[in-house]
């Protein structure tokens, strides 16, 4: 099993270092007849909130990289790229670093990626990108706090590895772990994606005054990331509520795909007919 490790907090972030060291131990204790290898291809700086963006590769058709070293994981080749996480995952998945991975791990992110924040997360965007190339992946995030227990998240992630390795291709897991010592973790549950979002609202403006030509919109942040926030309106099995209750949340994801819902057949047919009628006026 060959693993590509990336993140969105940057190659120097503590979360990826803890996970790299955990992967090193996983590799070392593997059976002699099983291939266990890893490579790290991660952004050189923080690219949080970039989703699956790859940047303007048409105007900039090259990516600068440098070798990096992670203490305690010196046996894993590590590269820092001037690129967002999705592009790191894409280049790594294509074998650009003399390593053809079977699956992608992304994290450990500093802050939960629950609710609607999964759409905006660079941590999640990396595995969604890898899935387009047929790879399975897991995004790993830990609830933010004063002293972050990355080690707990790493331990849970490594336990999930065996199942991910044996799952069908393009299997994607979103793992969120509460900020607790491993002994205090209540367990792991399947979590549903909640309605929590990164931004709840912007404003309001004082006195309801109309917008000026320019100015600032103060954002009211939601419960998704990095702080978990108020999850009192969530169902017990929603991902944010599980974290707040001391459980790790594991959620299967699916990347962009054609919507084959037959309820769309009518609207699609009418839209195609309208376009065709419009095009006839040019003939």
What are the pLDDT digits (tens) for 167-215?
Answer: 999 999 999 999 999 999 999 999 999 877 667 666 665 556 777 788 8
Q: Which pTM was predicted?
A: 0.89
How far apart (Å, rounded) are the C-alpha atoms in residues 40 and 198? 28
Report percent pLDDT > 90 for the chain.
70
How is the chain split into domains, by residue range? 2-192+231-253
187: region left, alpha or beta (phi > 0 left; psi from -120 to 50 alpha): left
Residues paired with 80 in a beta bridge: 42, 66
The yes-or-no verdict on residue 251 having pLDDT over 60 is yes
The yes-or-no verdict on residue 159 having pLDDT over 70 is yes
The yes-or-no verdict on residue 255 having pLDDT over 90 is no
* Range 36-53 average pLDDT: 94
The CA-CA-CA angle for residues 221, 222, 228, to 5°, reads 115
Under CATH, to which class is 2-192+231-253 assigned? Answer: alpha beta
Question: What pLDDT is stored for residue 246 in this prediction?
Answer: 95
Token code pair at residue 12: 């120097």
How far apart (Å, rounded) are the C-alpha atoms in residues 174 and 164? 12
pLDDT interval class at 75 (50, 70, 90):
very high
Q: What is the 3-state secondary structure (H, E, C) of 47-107?
A: CCCCCCCCCCCCCCCCCCEEEECCCCCCCCEEEEECCCHHHHHHHHHCCCCCCCCCEEEEE
């Amino acid at each position: 099993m060959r693993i590509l490790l990336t993140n969105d907090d940057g190659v120097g972030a503590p979360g990826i270092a803890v996970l790299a060291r955990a992967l090193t131990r996983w590799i070392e204790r593997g059976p002699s007849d099983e291939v266990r290898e890893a490579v790290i291809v991660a952004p050189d700086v923080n690219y949080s909130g970039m989703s699956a963006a790859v940047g303007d590769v048409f105007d900039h058709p090259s990516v600068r990289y440098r070798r990096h070293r992670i203490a305690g994981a010196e046996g894993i080749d590590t590269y820092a790229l001037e690129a967002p996480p999705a592009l790191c995952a894409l280049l790594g998945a294509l074998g650009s670093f003399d390593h053809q991975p079977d699956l992608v791990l992304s994290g450990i992110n500093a802050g939960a990626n629950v609710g609607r924040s999964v759409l905006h997360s660079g941590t999640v965007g990396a595995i969604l990108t890898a899935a387009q190339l047929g790879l399975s992946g897991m995004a790993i995030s830990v609830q933010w706090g004063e002293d972050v227990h990355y080690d707990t998240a790493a331990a849970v992630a490594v336990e999930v590895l065996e199942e991910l390795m044996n799952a069908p291709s393009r299997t994607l897991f979103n793992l969120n772990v509460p900020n607790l010592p491993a002994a205090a973790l209540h367990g792991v549950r399947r979590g549903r994606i909640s309605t929590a979002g990164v931004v709840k609202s912007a404003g309001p403006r004082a006195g309801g005054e109309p917008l000026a030509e320019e100015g600032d919109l103060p954002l009211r942040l939601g419960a998704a990331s990095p702080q978990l926030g108020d999850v009192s309106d969530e169902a017990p099995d929603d991902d944010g509520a599980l974290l707040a209750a001391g459980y790790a949340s594991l959620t299967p994801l699916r990347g962009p795909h054609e919507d084959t819902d037959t309820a769309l057949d009518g609207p699609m047919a009418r839209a195609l007919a309208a376009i065709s009628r419009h095009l006839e006026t040019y003939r």
